[in-house]
Amino acid sequence: NEPGNSKLAQQFLPTIIELCTTALYPAIRENFALDIRENYYKLVHNLLINNWRYFFKGNVLTTL
């Protein structure tokens, strides 16, 4: 069972993505602290890697 596949995670995923794009990204875009930016991008990377099926609902292989 993949970490991003729990029902609870799927319920909160749209809210987490919205928070990342509307609140966190504008705040770190103006912040020059490398460690903050690095951790933000790690968070986004983990969201995408663990929840890619949220963005690609169908079978990816059938689209190739």
Token representation of residue 7: 């029902």
In which band, very low, low, confident or very high, does the pLDDT at 4 lie, cut at 50, 70 and 90?
A: very low
Q: Which domain holds residue 10?
A: 3-56
24 falls within a domain: yes
> How would DSSP label each residue in 17-55?
HHHIIIIIHHHHHS---HHHHHHHHHHHHHHHHHTHHHH
pTM of the model: 0.67
Q: How many domains does the chain have?
A: 1
Residue 64 has pLDDT above 70, yes or no: no
27 falls within a domain: yes
CB 4 within 8 A of CB 43: no
63 falls within a domain: no
Instruction: Return the percentage of the chain with pLDDT > 90, whole number.
Output: 33
For residue 40, the model assigns a pLDDT of 93
The model's pLDDT over 14-40, given as tens digits with 9 standing for 90+, comes to 999 999 999 999 988 887 788 989 999
23 falls within a domain: yes
